[in-house]
Chain A
Amino acid sequence: EAGVTQFPSHSVIEKGQTVTLRCDPISGHDNLYWYRRVMGKEIKFLLHFVKESKQDESGMPNNRFLAERTGGTYSTLKVQPAELEDSGVYFCASSQDRANTEAFFGQGTRLTVV
């Protein structure tokens, strides 16, 4: 069974540019999460989809970040325009729709804004 896959694995962009990160969850997982780890900090929650609906987006840092999950399958996270402080590792996770079930994580996308 394929795990959670994220693309790209690395991205280096200039300040002011746009970047789109993609996450393919495990097939059949209705829950999809985005997390971010900025250098030297904790891994922080960004948002949670249930199918195509945003269940909780309380962790999104500002309106330069836009997440979508059209059709309830893969998700994209767009940063526009990117700022230096957006650099970090962005993780995606998915889980089944059961309480206390584990979340399966992708390898992450390392974003560097220069």
Chain B
Amino acid sequence: AQSVTQLDSHVSVSEGTPVLLRCNYSSSYSPSLFWYVQHPNKGLQLLLKYTSAATLVKGINGFEAEFKKSETSFHLTKPSAHMSDAAEYFCVVSGITGRRALTFGSGTRLQVQP
């Protein structure tokens, strides 16, 4: 079985400060890992994905994530938060061979204070 744990349901940062959204996963197989973002009244948008190539993955809007197998983590970071980053972020795993369904974390709501 596979599962995803997002360690924080809410994170609040000040504009211009770093962002860290934490994610731990569990998978019996070599996983594919994703971060999706959902802005209010919008669909889910892919930020970045890890598929067993480079462990440091760069995504859109300055976000990146590092796959750490020893820690089973895939934390999302950004050096400097922008007001437009306020949204809900989902860590997602897909890994069971032949089954492409995604398993979502519970989501982290990011607030960015001016």
Report which A residues bind B (CB closer than 8 A). 3-4, 31, 33, 35, 41-45, 48, 56, 58-59, 91, 93, 95, 100, 102-108
Contact = CB atoms under 8 A, between A and B. Distances in A.
Contacts of B49: 100, 102
Nearest to A50: B100
Contacts of B101: 33, 45, 48, 56, 58-59
B103 interface: yes
B43 A95 contact: no
Given A100-B51, A102-B34, A4 B99 contact: no
Interface in B76-100: 90, 94, 99-100
A43 B32 CA distance: 17
Contact of A42 (B43, B51, B104): B104
Given A4-B43, A42-B105, A100-B51, A56 B94 contact: no
Top-3 shortest CB links A-B: A105-B44, A43-B104, A45-B101
A95 B49 CA distance: 14
21 contacts: A3-B43, A33-B102, A35-B102, A35-B104, A42-B107, A43-B90, A45-B102, A45-B103, A48-B99, A56-B99, A56-B100, A95-B100, A100-B49, A100-B94, A102-B34, A102-B49, A105-B36, A105-B43, A107-B41, A107-B43, A108-B43
Interface string B32-74: 1010100001111110010100000000000000000000000
A58 B96 CA distance: 14
